[in-house]
A and B are shown apart, each in its own frame.
Chain A
Amino acid sequence: MLSAAVWGWSRMNVSRIGWIGFVAGLVGSVSAQANPASALTEQEFLGEMPVVISVSRLAQRLDETPGAVTILDRDFIRMSGARDVADLLRVVPGFQTTNSFETDAPIVTYHGRVDDWANRVQVMVDGRSVYSGLLQGSAGLGLETLALADIERIEVLRGSNSAAYGARAFLGVINIVSRDPRQTFGTQAQATVGQNGVADLGGSVGWGEDSAVFRVSVDSRGDDGLRKTGSAAGSSGKSRVNRANLAGALSLGSATELSLHAGLLDIAAYRGTLIGDVGNPQRMRFMGSGYVQGEWARALSADEDLKVELSYTRIENKDSYIYQSDGPAPGTYRGIRISLDAVEQNAAASLQYIRRYSNDVRMVLGTELRSERIDSRSEFDRAGNVETDFTRIFGNLEWRIHPQWLLNAGAMLEDSNAVDATLAPRWMLNWTPLRGHTFRAGSSTAFRTPSAYENFADSAFYDINGQNRLSAVVGSGQLRPERIVARELGYLFYLAGRTLTGDVRLFDEHISDGIATTASTPTAFVNSEDYRITGGELDLVWRPHPAVRVGLSHAAAEVQINQSPNLYPTAFTTQYAVPKTSDALSLMLNLPGGYSASLIYSQAERLALMSAVGKTINIERTDVRLAKNFRLGKSKAELALTVQNLNNPYPDGDRKFYFDSRAMVTLRVEN
């Protein structure tokens, strides 16, 4: 109801005195209340403004997204109590994760392959692909790029989508979006201490004016690692991750924006065993990366955008030890220094043009040039380095054929000096017969180009006199790209006034020319895998009240090996790297009095670790967190108690490593 007082004027029905009679009422009844400091003119109402939310900045609705998407937002991330991105992703249906710094950095896989080098999922951090050719295509290091406190949300696209997300989106995509510096002014700090040597400290400061805003974040997280058993018993698992990141958002005048990101990452972690393993003694291993990236975006009109992205990433691995055995005759290898040191440099430039032709047709066209160079005597003994140059051209058409039918069709052409050119097409049809009910059907073909190490490895050792070359790993240089043909059916629904959202995904993924190692000496990589993964996934989020979030995910999968298991030694782990079933339940409550509570339960059944040939395990884990918000002077603060893994210790990443229960306390302050 509009009140006259609020409207500030009144109708005065005075008898008709002619139109000039309005003079009599010329007293502004509301003017006495106002006290504007300066003049506001009509220009503010009539003037034009540059287009800001242009076509490429419009986020897709879930029911228009060509695939299944799980989104973990900032509240979920904070209330989960997780300390790493990888650990958080265990709640996403179909994902397997590790917490092990003892082998690589913690990794995530989708639909299996829980090895040291999970390399079939694309990981993007603010649009930059962070896989490492040096680490056999693994994104483990890349997943550590940002502290969780700097992440706005994580979008997980389940399903192959190379046409839209590049060659590494073989099985799925993890899209990590950092917090917009325009929303992180002031200072923020947090510290965590707890059992198992958990000691984390971090903070950020944001500053700037309206046209240029920046944030610098620094943090260090560390603990004593996983508990070691068997031949690894007594070995240290201490690890520490140090990070510094800069984010900037600059407005360059009419409809042009520049985003800047740069960062340094350093991981120091013990690996190897204290006794008994002459080829893998305990030592400290360092991995690090530095990157700088810029994205220039200009809205040519409300319907037309141009984007240019440039990035440079440098990755370094420092790992060496003294060999403690004589080795095979005739050389003497005892006492030689085995060095796995390597430097990788990746430079990428991409150009994207996005255009909407009408309300029903939108198109993206783009190209990317990428150069990857790895310098490593230990990995490429005789060549010393490998350089791979990629040229990619991609396009995607979004066409609303009918108000109920939306077609997404796209393809990516990739050419490189490593393998023959490949064309990865993808299409998905979304049908929304009823509001809140969307059915999807689509298929995709994608390729994963072998990493430089898989294709060109030349790992060898020389005896104490630099003679008697001993070859350990040899790449053929002839590998073909791994290939996947994926088909899926999906159903996205909103029920109960949108408080319940769910997604069902049924998939059939046929992987051929999968790259695996041989059991021979020297080890080689071959295109030996041929198998099919079929199954289904359910992802539910229920918000019965603004203060309550309940998440439930379920995945079931079967792997069918199409080739004789005898042809490659990893057949067992391929067969069981995808758990038969896995589930996650999360419950998050914001309670009165500034309290919040959360519980996350996850389980995976019949899962094979890469190190446990012939055996499968079941994993169960429950985490709980209780927090209290309060004021600390003028600052907002939160004190939280988190207990990870209330269940029995479970093997994590390796049969010798166990994730024990651990409790920790976190204090977060921001102003």
Chain B
Amino acid sequence: MPAVHHFVRFLLLVSLTLLSGGARAIDVVVVLSERGPGYLEATEVMVAELGRAGLTVSDTDVRSANSLATALAQQTPRVIVTLGYESLRQVLEARPRVPVLAALIPRSGFERLLRDHASTRPAVAALYLDQPIGRQMDVIRLAFGAGHRVAVLLGPESSWQRSLLTASAGAQGFSLQLAEVGASQTVAHALADVLDGADVLLALPDTQVYNATTVGNVLMSSYRARVPVLAFSPAYVRAGATLSLHSTPVQVALMVRQHLQAGAVLTNQYPADFAITVNERVARSLDLDLNAAMLTEQLKRLARKP
């Protein structure tokens, strides 16, 4: 959306101009992995929201090592917010002396970077982009009812969640149909195994399992087997998944602002705010009566419970 891009660039230009002439230190530097729509959307909201809170915000991206190094050298922020995996990686490489809040990053990617930079890393915490397993099981129960058979495909990037899945499914009264994708088993084989008799397919992000090559097979096979898919991004819903549970870039930006403003001591966190989208045509065709707004509200009510 060019209009948004221009607006964001305008905002950034204004803030940089002010910074260059101002006497005041920069409070926050936002580092973007790239200037795609999601990153810009998050940045736009963060700049506006933090600005309203009286904080000065600057941004840069990691398209060239120069821009990041320059930005960090010229400015002495009190905190760096990274948006995305690559921005965190490069910030960690730069060994900043200020704390880092990593956002728009999935948990396994974040943990991989921490391990790779274990000896040199600054103080860093993450606001994960992925959703906790328990919340995903809650969506399944709210959308489809109790006592279901939940199919899950695990790959190298998601297999660490196996025990969480088992515990969470057990707590909800679901039975799990798990299959691992790897060197000995393709997605197609594993999918055929787990879909047999399943009531819902829970898609967990894993590049080995869910990618542009496999999406056709995953969504077509599930649909033909009349197994609804709970996905992790609205793109999958547009492609044909029945529904998704995810946090939008705007929600991520607002959560970052809340964290920075609240002054709370922060651990790594899953997102407190989230959205559900439903492919109404697919749901209708599967004879499912799903209302995204109602499901979101019910899920948020559950999340508020102690």
In the complex, residue of chain B having the shortest beta-carbon distance to the beta carbon of A20: B78
The 9 closest A-B pairs by CB, nearest first: A53-B240, A25-B265, A36-B108, A6-B134, A37-B156, A28-B268, A41-B85, A49-B239, A22-B266
Residues of A within 8 A of B123 (CB): 23, 26
A169, B109: Cα distance in complex, Å: 56
Contact, CB under 8 Å: A25 / B239: no
Residues of A within 8 A of B264 (CB): 11-14, 21-22, 25
The reply to whether the CB of A496 lies closer than 8 angstroms to some CB of chain B is: no
**What are some 29 contacts across the A-B interface (CB < 8 A)?**
A1-B171, A2-B134, A2-B135, A2-B302, A6-B164, A7-B135, A9-B268, A12-B266, A12-B267, A18-B263, A20-B99, A22-B125, A23-B99, A23-B123, A26-B99, A29-B268, A30-B107, A36-B158, A37-B159, A42-B105, A45-B246, A49-B236, A52-B240, A53-B219, A152-B224, A180-B224, A183-B224, A210-B213, A257-B220
A28, B206: Cα distance in complex, Å: 22
The reply to whether the CB of B303 lies closer than 8 angstroms to some CB of chain A is: yes
In the complex, residue of chain B having the shortest beta-carbon distance to the beta carbon of A58: B285
The reply to whether the CB of A566 lies closer than 8 angstroms to some CB of chain B is: no
A421, B160: Cα distance in complex, Å: 66
Contact, CB under 8 Å: A14 / B132: no
The reply to whether the CB of A329 lies closer than 8 angstroms to some CB of chain B is: no
A238, B135: Cα distance in complex, Å: 62
Measured CB to CB, the closest approach of chain B to A332, in angstroms, equals 62
In the complex, residue of chain A having the shortest beta-carbon distance to the beta carbon of B104: A42
Residues of A within 8 A of B287 (CB): 61
Measured CB to CB, the closest approach of chain B to A206, in angstroms, equals 8
In B162-185, the 8 Å CB interface with A consists of 164, 167-168, 171
A182, B219: Cα distance in complex, Å: 11
The reply to whether the CB of B255 lies closer than 8 angstroms to some CB of chain A is: no
Taking a contact as CB atoms closer than 8 A, the residue among A19, A39, A152, A186 that contacts B263 in the complex is: A19
The number of residues on chain B lying at the interface, defined by a beta carbon within 8 Å of a beta carbon of chain A, is: 95
Contact A28 to B111, CB < 8 A, known contacts A42-B129, A44-B233? yes
A7, B137: Cα distance in complex, Å: 11
Which of B6-14, B62-70, B186-194, B290-298 is found at the contact surface with chain A? Answer: B186-194
A30, B159: Cα distance in complex, Å: 15
The reply to whether the CB of B138 lies closer than 8 angstroms to some CB of chain A is: yes
Task: Type the 1/0 row for B228-251, where 1 means its CB is closer than 8 Å to any CB of A.
Answer: 000011011011100000100100
* Category for how many chain A residues contact B: 35 or more
A9, B127: Cα distance in complex, Å: 10
In B103-121, the 8 Å CB interface with A consists of 104-109, 111-114
The reply to whether the CB of A434 lies closer than 8 angstroms to some CB of chain B is: no
A208, B107: Cα distance in complex, Å: 33
In B122-162, the 8 Å CB interface with A consists of 123-126, 129-130, 132-135, 138, 156-160
A556, B196: Cα distance in complex, Å: 38
In the complex, residue of chain A having the shortest beta-carbon distance to the beta carbon of B89: A39
Contact, CB under 8 Å: B106 / A53: no
The reply to whether the CB of B217 lies closer than 8 angstroms to some CB of chain A is: yes
Measured CB to CB, the closest approach of chain A to B236, in angstroms, equals 6
Residues of B within 8 A of A186 (CB): 189
The reply to whether the CB of B212 lies closer than 8 angstroms to some CB of chain A is: yes
Residues of B within 8 A of A184 (CB): 192
Measured CB to CB, the closest approach of chain A to B35, in angstroms, equals 12
Measured CB to CB, the closest approach of chain B to A151, in angstroms, equals 13
A71, B107: Cα distance in complex, Å: 45
Contact, CB under 8 Å: B268 / A31: yes
Residues of A within 8 A of B216 (CB): 50, 52, 211, 251, 255, 257
Contact, CB under 8 Å: A45 / B129: yes
The reply to whether the CB of B92 lies closer than 8 angstroms to some CB of chain A is: no
The reply to whether the CB of A47 lies closer than 8 angstroms to some CB of chain B is: yes
A211, B211: Cα distance in complex, Å: 12
Q: Kindly name the residue among B84, B114, B212 whose own CB sees the greatest number of chain A CB atoms within 10 A.
A: B212
Contact A25 to B135, CB < 8 A, known contacts A20-B78, A182-B217? no
Contact A209 to B210, CB < 8 A, known contacts A21-B265, A40-B205? no
Contact, CB under 8 Å: B238 / A302: yes
Contact, CB under 8 Å: B232 / A8: no
Contact A44 to B101, CB < 8 A, known contacts A14-B264, A22-B264, A53-B220? no
Contact A182 to B221, CB < 8 A, known contacts A25-B267, A41-B105, A49-B239? yes
A23, B270: Cα distance in complex, Å: 17
Contact, CB under 8 Å: B84 / A30: no
In the complex, residue of chain B having the shortest beta-carbon distance to the beta carbon of A53: B240
Contact, CB under 8 Å: B235 / A48: yes
Which residues of B are at the interface with A, using a C-beta cutoff of 8 A? Answer: 33, 36, 38, 78-79, 84-86, 99, 101, 104-109, 111-114, 123-126, 129-130, 132-135, 138, 156-160, 164, 167-168, 171, 186-189, 191-192, 195-196, 205-207, 210, 212-217, 219-221, 223-225, 232-233, 235-236, 238-240, 246, 249, 259-270, 279-282, 284-285, 287, 302-303, 305
The reply to whether the CB of A27 lies closer than 8 angstroms to some CB of chain B is: yes
Contact, CB under 8 Å: A39 / B108: yes
Contact, CB under 8 Å: B263 / A31: no
Contact, CB under 8 Å: A28 / B125: yes
Contact, CB under 8 Å: B233 / A6: no
Measured CB to CB, the closest approach of chain A to B155, in angstroms, equals 8
Contact, CB under 8 Å: A22 / B239: no
The reply to whether the CB of A24 lies closer than 8 angstroms to some CB of chain B is: yes
In the complex, residue of chain B having the shortest beta-carbon distance to the beta carbon of A32: B111
Q: Kindly name the residue among A39, A58, A59 whose own CB sees the greatest number of chain B CB atoms within 10 A.
A: A39
Contact, CB under 8 Å: A185 / B112: no
Contact, CB under 8 Å: B112 / A29: no
Contact, CB under 8 Å: A36 / B233: no
A184, B263: Cα distance in complex, Å: 56
Contact, CB under 8 Å: B171 / A52: no
Contact, CB under 8 Å: A9 / B269: yes
In the complex, residue of chain A having the shortest beta-carbon distance to the beta carbon of B219: A52
A182, B133: Cα distance in complex, Å: 28
Contact, CB under 8 Å: B281 / A58: yes
Contact A38 to B195, CB < 8 A, known contacts A22-B264, A211-B213? no
Contact, CB under 8 Å: A17 / B263: yes
Measured CB to CB, the closest approach of chain B to A422, in angstroms, equals 33
Taking a contact as CB atoms closer than 8 A, the residue among A22, A30, A34, A209 that contacts B186 in the complex is: A209
A359, B285: Cα distance in complex, Å: 13
Residues of B within 8 A of A37 (CB): 156-157, 159
Measured CB to CB, the closest approach of chain B to A180, in angstroms, equals 5
Contact A209 to B188, CB < 8 A, known contacts A6-B132, A40-B207? yes
Contact, CB under 8 Å: A47 / B235: yes
A49, B279: Cα distance in complex, Å: 14
The reply to whether the CB of A520 lies closer than 8 angstroms to some CB of chain B is: no
A48, B215: Cα distance in complex, Å: 11
Contact, CB under 8 Å: A49 / B215: yes
Contact, CB under 8 Å: B106 / A34: no
Taking a contact as CB atoms closer than 8 A, the residue among A7, A22, A31, A208 that contacts B265 in the complex is: A22
Taking a contact as CB atoms closer than 8 A, the residue among A29, A44, A182, A209 that contacts B267 in the complex is: A29
In the complex, residue of chain B having the shortest beta-carbon distance to the beta carbon of A213: B188
The reply to whether the CB of A469 lies closer than 8 angstroms to some CB of chain B is: no
A211, B104: Cα distance in complex, Å: 30
A17, B270: Cα distance in complex, Å: 23
